[in-house]
Amino acid sequence: MPLSRSSTLSFPPIVAALLFILFTTSSSQDVSYSNCNRTFSCGSLHNITYPFTGGDRPDYCGPPDFRLNCRDNYTELTANSITYRVLQINQSEKTLTLARLDLWNNICPQTFVNSTLNSTIFNTDVGNVDLTLIYGCSSVMNYTPQNLFSCNVSGVNSTDAFYLTGPVPSDPIMSFIECHVSIVTPVLGDAGVRLTSNRSTLEEVLMQGFNVNYSDPYDNQCSQCIESGGQCGFDSSSGQAVCICVDRPCPASPPASSPVGIPAAGNGVVRNNVPLTVGLGIAGAAVFGIGLGWCIFSCRQRRKRLAAQTVSKDLPTPPSSKGLSLTTPRTNFSQSIPSYPSLSSKNSDLEKGSTYFGVQVFSYTELEEATDNFNPSRELGDGGFGTVYFGKLHDDRIVAVKRLYENNFKRVEQFMNEVEILTRLRHPNLVTLYGCTSKRSRELLLVYEYIPNGTVADHLHGKRANSGLLSWPVRLSIAIETADALAFLHASDVIHRDVKTNNILLENDFRVKVADFGLSHKSDVYSFGVVLIELISSKQAVDTNRHRHDINLANMAVNKIQNHTLHELVDPTLGFETNSSVRRMTTLVAELAFRCLQQEKDVRPSMEEVLKALKEIKNEESSVQKAEVVDIMADDVGLLKVTSPPMSPDSAGTEKWVSSSTTPNSSG
C-alpha cells in the first residue's frame, strides 16, 4: 500500500548505526584527523569541544557551521556573511548568546543586512524579541518620537532613524514616515522591555545580544561514534560526519567490540582480518532486511489507523454540531463551546456553555507553543480578567491569547460570558473571538484576533503618548466608533460593564475594537463619559499623583466645567485655544460627557443618544446656539440636577485610592 505524503518512516537505532558504519567506511582511510581531542579557548570561553572548531581544534573536527575564531581575546562566529561576537556558550544546555559585531557599540552599520542563521541548526525563537532598526527616514509629522536616533546612510539626505521592538505594524509611526532601509535582529526579551521603558539604551540592548539554541545535524551518528569509543569529526570532501579512531576514520566495525578481534578506538590498529567487501555485504543485507521489515510493520500500523478513522467517521453526529465545518487541517473545530463544570451546584447557568458553538476549540499545548510557553516578553497587557499574550498559531495566524488569572467561579463565569457574547454578536468595532480551550484543558484560554496598535490608554497617557498621532479628528472618530459598538451591544440587550480606555483597542489606521467584557454592575454610559473626558484631557481616569480632590478624573472634570475652566482640562496639544472649530467640538463633547457623568441614572442619555450626538458634532450639524449652551453658565449646570460632583455608582469616594500604582479604572 503506498504511503501518503504526510506519512514518515523512522528507523530503529540499529539501522541508524549500520548506516553510519556504511558511510564512515566509505570515507578515505588515508585521511588524517589529528588533534580533535583538543579544546577551543578564547577570552572568557574555555574548553569548548565538538561540534565547535577553531583555534587548536582543526576545522575537520566539527561541522562548518560551528567554526569559531578568536580575535583580540573575543570569540567570533560568522554565519551568512554576518559576524557575531559569541558572549556565552553552554554546551550542556546547547545554547549560545550572540551579538552582532557590526552593531557592537554602534548603531550605524556600513551594510544593512538582517540577522539570519541556519534555522535547521540555530533557533532564535526562545526568549527573544525582534528589534527593527529603520534608517533614512523622512516624516510628514512635526514631532519627535522617543525612539528616534540619527544615522548617516549613503545616498540618502535624511539622517533620521527609528527603532521598533516587536512586529513593525504595531507602531503607528510607520504610517506617517517614509524610510529607505532597515535591519531586523533579535534581542533579549527582557532587554527589549527595558528599551521600550527607557531603562536601557539602544546600544546597551544590542551589546547584550540574543539567545540561540543550537543542534548538531549529525547528533545521532556522533552518539553512535562516541559509544564505539571514537571521536566525532567532519569530512569536508563528502560533506558528511566521520567517526575518528586515533587520527584516522574508524574501520568498518559494529559500535561495540568486534568478535573477530577489531580493537576499540585508541590502540592504533585500523585493519582486521575480514575483507572490507564481506563486511559491507553483511551490513548492507542487514540494513535491507531490517528496513523491509520496518516498512511492512509501518504499513500495517497505518492500515489500523485508517480503519479506526473510518469507524469514527461513521459514528452519529450529536445534534449540537450541525452546521460546523471540520475541514481545518491543523486544528479541530469543537462540536460546541465546552461546558466548564459548575463550581457550585446552585450556579447551573455555567452549564449553558454546552450550547455555545461556532468558534474553534484549541488545545492547551497549541496555545502554549503559540505563545512560547507564555513567555513574559510576549505579554501584551492586562485583559480584564487575565493576561494577554502575543501568539502565532500553526496556520501562521497572529493572535492574542488571554490567560485567566485563576479558575474560580467568577473567572469561569466571566469567561463564559465573553464567549457567549462574542460568538453571538458580530460588529466591526468589536474584537473577533477565534476560539477557546476545552473543558479538559489545564487552563481557561481565549484566542482573539491580534490588534496591533495598542489601546487608547497607551496613546493618551501610556507608552505611546508621545507619538502625537491622536489629533482631535482621530479622537472624535474613536469616540464615535466606541459609542457605536456600545449602542449595538445595548440594542442586543448586552451591557459591556467594563468600559475604559484600556479596553478600547486600535488598529493601525486607528479603527476601534472594543474588548474585555466584565461582570460588575457598572453603567456603560457613565464609564463612557469618563472615556470622553480622557479623550479631551489625555489624563488618566485615576491618578493618585493629582490633588486629592482631582484623583478621580470624573470629579475633576465636573469641577472644571462648573467653575467655567474647561480650558484647564483640555489637552493643550489639541489646539483648543487657537482653533475655533476644535474649541467648539471639544466643548460640545465635554457637555455630552457631563451628561453621561450624572449620578442619577435616569438623567443620563442612552448610548444611542450619545452616538447620535457625537455624529452630529462630527458632521458639524449642531447649531452655534448649542455650542453657546455648552459654554456652561451656572444656570445651565443647575438644569442638570447636580448638587455635588457626580461619582461612579460603585465608587465610595477618592479615599479608597491609596496607591500610586493603582490601575486606572474608567468607572470613576
> Binding site for ATP: what residues are annotated?
402
CA dist list (Å): 146 to 162, 441, 562 = 9, 42, 37
Q: How many H-runs (helices) and E-runs (strands) does the chain carry?
A: 15, 24
Buried b (16+ CB within 10 A) or exposed e, 233-270: bbbeeeebbbbbbbbbbbbbbbbeebeeebbebeeeeb
CB 450 within 8 A of CB 390: yes
Burial class (CB in 10 A: 0-12, 13-18, 19+), 612: middle
Instruction: Determine the Cα–Cα distance for residues 432 and 451; give it in Å rounded to an integer.
Output: 10
Residues assigned a catalytic role: 498
Is the Cβ–Cβ distance between 452 and 167 less than 8 Å? yes
- From residue 138, alpha-carbon distances to 78, 148, 399, 460, 510 in Å are 34, 11, 31, 24, 22
Find out whether 232 and 218 touch, Cβ atoms under 8 Å: yes
Pull the grid cell for residue 208: 547584550
- Structural contact between residues 287 and 295, judged by C-beta atoms closer than 8 angstroms: no
266: left (phi over 0), alpha (psi -120 to 50) or beta: left
Using CB atoms within 10 A of its CB, is residue 120 exposed (0-12), middle (13-18) or buried (19+)?
exposed
**C-alpha distances out from residue 325 to 360, 398, 475, 508, 540, Å:** 10, 21, 40, 31, 45
Element (H, E) at 359: none
Closest CA to 454 of 363, 378, 537, 381: 381
Q: In whole angstroms, give the CA distance from residue 84 to residue 78.
A: 6
DSSP code at position 556: H
- Calpha distance 651→526 (Å, rounded): 12
Alpha-carbon span 392 to 440, nearest angstrom: 22
Question: Residues of 58-78 as b/e, b for ≥16 C-beta within 10 angstroms?
Answer: bebbbbebbbbbbeeebbbbe
Residues 69 and 76 sit within 8 Å (Cβ to Cβ): yes
Give the containing element (helix H, strand E) for 494.
Answer: none
Measure the CA–CA gap between 588 and 454, rounded to whole angstroms: 27
Alpha-carbon gap, residue 240 to 190, rounded angstroms: 39
